[in-house]
Structure 1
C-alpha cells in the first residue's frame, strides 16, 4: 500500500502504497466524467445530479490534478524503489564488512602492520555503517513524504468519485469551459 532493519523499511514502504492498484484499473477511467452527457439546446435545469458550470470546472481541474499527481507518484515510487535497492546493497556491504571483522580479529600485539590494516578496516566499516544509518533516516523521511502524497491522492480521488464521476453535465457547459 520491508528484512532485519533494512527489510522492515522496504516492507513499510510497500505496504503503505495503495497507489499501484489504482493504476491497474486505468486512470483514464478513474478520472473521467462518466455521468451521462446532457443534450445541447435544451432548457438547463441544475440539481443534485447535474453539475453546474463552476462544479464542472472544479471537476475538470481535479481530474487534471489527479493526472499530474499520478505521474508524480509514479516517478517518486520508482525513485524510492531504486533507493531501496541501493540501501539493500549498502546494507549487504556493511554485513560483509562486519562478518570479516568478526572472523578476523588481530591475533598478535607486536605486528604493527596487522594492527594498522585492521584499524583501517574498522574505520571503513564504521564509515559504511554511518553512511547506511544516515541513508536509512533520509529514506524513512522520503517514505513518509510519499505516503502523505499517496494519502492526499487517495483523498482527491475519493472526492472526484463522490462529486464528479457519476454526475451529469450539459455538453455546452463542457464545451464553453474547454474553449477558455
Structure 2
C-alpha cells in the first residue's frame, strides 16, 4: 500500500509542476522572456562632410522579476558614437541616456501593441544601404483612476521590411503571461 501511495504522490507532484494544458508556467515563461531581453543593440551609420559616424544605441534590461503578475524591471539606455575623421583622427563619445524602473501589471494589460524606430545606414553619398527597426511593445492598461497607461518595452531589432510582430515567440510569451494572469481580453467586434 505504501508503494502505491508513493507512486500516486510522485505522479501528483509531477502534474502540479506543469501548467494544466502542458504549456509553460509563469516562472518558465518569465525565464524565457529574461533570456530574450538581456541587451539590445541598434547601429546607425552616417556621414557628415569628411567625417564618418557609427552610432551604437544600447538598451540593457536588469532586475527583471514578477510577483503577483506584476512584472518589474529596470531599463538602461545609452549611446556610443564612434567618429572617424581624416583630419582629426578617431574619437569615441559615450552618452548616458536614462535608467528607469518599470512595472507592468500583466493582469491589467488589455493589449500589447507595437511602435518602432527606424535606424538607417548610409553610404558616403548619403544613400541608404540598409535600415533596421527597433520594435517596442506597448502594454495598454488602465491605472487606478481608470485612465489608460501605455508602458513601452524595447524587444529587439529586425530588418526594415519586418511587419508581423504577432508571429514573434516573445510576443506569444507575453500573451501567454496575460492568459496565466487572467488579463482582460481586448474588445473585438469581429
* Structure having the larger proportion of residues in helix: 1
Same fold (TM over 0.5): no
TM score, norm. by length of structure 1: 0.29
Which entry has the higher C-alpha Rg, 1 or 2? Answer: 1
Q: Normalising to structure 2: TM-score of the pair?
A: 0.28
Question: Relative CO higher for 1 or 2, CA cutoff 8 Å, sep ≥ 6?
Answer: 1
More strand by share: 2
